[in-house]
A and B are shown apart, each in its own frame.
Chain A
């Protein structure tokens, strides 16, 4: 991975105004996304995965949300970018697909037009041309009889088909980066597998990079090259997918693995994680997982552990259990 990353996120913090005070929803999120790579963001609901994606596209509401840090897309800074320029990037360079196919489409606009619109806002071309291209993309994501269904409305499609339309819409301008926000969570398991295969296929064909949000480690195994585990607004562990599955280091990641039901074990082997994610208003200093952590140490409530790993390993973890070597190295410098 000698190339420059397509997307480089550094020190990304998002804050929301709740009851007059600004509360941090995510803190110091950093990752690199390389060409043709799929990075999975994993974590429980409310851990800041979706917020991170929306921050990348500048979709968080102004006045209510505040974004700090740096998001570089092919070297271009996106944080603080003016809205018109951001509009030029959305959809054409970085696209996004959403969790709820039932509500993600405009109910009063024919689906084909919604796809064509994505093409028309980014490219000067004739309506007919956009339409032809939209139909081609509907075909590409395997919507049967695409040409005939161009003028159909979202309510005339099943959930899986709608998600395919959402994907076709996102792909319409052949973006370099796709942000997929739990695109399969709302679907039946069999449909889920089809959609995952579709996305994998598209990524490979268009040399597209993808940030894939999910809370399911099974889906991660199926689609990701690298994984970032998020907890309460922070990335606590990041590693290539094989490495993470082989040797999860952070106590939270380990706990996540123990919470997966397995066929070869009986139910007693299942260990739910005690306690719950603290609310956004209750975040303080220190490791946010500490209150629920089985391996808690006194220093865990001190300064927040930083995400760090052995140099060159590509496996980083934000936990004092694994920090001795990196921190010592830093202290010596």
Chain B
């Protein structure tokens, strides 16, 4: 298992490197001079030159990339030109909020997705199945912000059950959880839709397998066959898909944070976009990449836990 984990870690390195190159290239092909863009048209040539030096833009591209790489390796993701704070400290302040949202949404996705998918598979082509299939299709067709806005209008604005704007600063745990409900449902519904679909098709396949018949032939009650034999096997592809869509989840958290005005990486990105804070954007891209690679790694490990054939390979 340890070897398997280490191997997966090694595989992540080229991906990370490639992404760093991609981020670097993207930041260098901005049309025009970044320093000029940042400072605006009225800036004096001296100021522009100073900023160029500060950003390291006066060095050769190769050196710039090296600086960038060394910086990342040392945990230096750049410094905001607006606030002067380091990207790491900016991100560290809001990362818990984003992680909280992502994990809560993942839970929503699993708690709704797996049982619905299994139920749908067992009632194949009957009313529950059709309802679940249509529901999941709608769920994955809804952009996160559309669903978020609908929830916001109904439950926060009209019914007033939940806060419209997430509270910031120190608040009680209960208040914090209450503010988390709508955002995590918004983001989780997408995950739930994906998980439902995969669980359903995976379950349908597993239910037709020989070993299900074997289990029934030895007198195992049906619900126990479903739980211990079918679901345990059907869950394996679900794990893969959850991992695949963790990235989608992280991506859509940007939208959710905007809609619910929650602090988080997404809000940070949008703020940096508005202020053309390119170092922050670049740093956050790298951070997002790290998060996604980490998520994929965790998924691979989880896959090993659920699938003995991988564990012993």
Contacts and interface: CB of A to CB of B under 8 A. Distances in A.
Direct contact of A and B (CB under 8 A): yes
B166 interface: no
Chain B interface mostly helix, strand, loop or mixed? Answer: helix
A107 B308 contact: yes
B307 interface: yes
A109 B229 contact: yes
A118 B211 contact: no
Given A104-B211, A108-B236, A153-B308, A87 B221 contact: yes
A107 B233 contact: yes
B306 A108 contact: yes
B217 A108 contact: no
B218 A98 contact: no
Contacts of B309: 107, 153, 155
B232 A98 contact: no
A103 B210 CA distance: 6
B275 interface: no
B219 A103 contact: no
A115 to B, nearest CB: 9
Given A103-B211, A107-B309, A169 B218 contact: yes
Contacts of A90: 216-219
B217 A87 contact: no
B59 interface: no
Chain A interface mostly helix, strand, loop or mixed? Answer: mixed
Contact of B219 (A91, A108, A153): A91
Interface in B170-225: 209-211, 213-222, 224
A106 B312 contact: no
Contacts of A118: 218-220
Interface in B290-313: 306-309, 312
Contacts of B210: 98, 100, 103-104
Contacts of A155: 308-309, 312
A89 interface: yes
A59 B214 contact: no
Interface residues of B, number: 24
A96 interface: yes
Given A118-B219, A121-B224, A104 B214 contact: yes
B228 A109 contact: yes
Interface in B30-74: none
B213 A59 contact: yes
A92 B219 CA distance: 7
A268 interface: no
Given A121-B224, A153-B309, A153-B312, A109 B232 contact: yes
A117 interface: yes
Contacts of B312: 153, 155-156
17 contacts: A54-B213, A84-B221, A87-B222, A91-B219, A96-B217, A105-B214, A106-B211, A107-B233, A108-B236, A117-B215, A118-B220, A122-B219, A155-B309, A166-B214, A170-B218, A172-B218, A173-B219
Instruction: List the 3 shortest-distance A-B pairs measured between CB atoms, nearest first.
Output: A91-B219, A91-B218, A90-B219
Interface of B: 209-211, 213-222, 224, 228-229, 232-233, 236, 306-309, 312
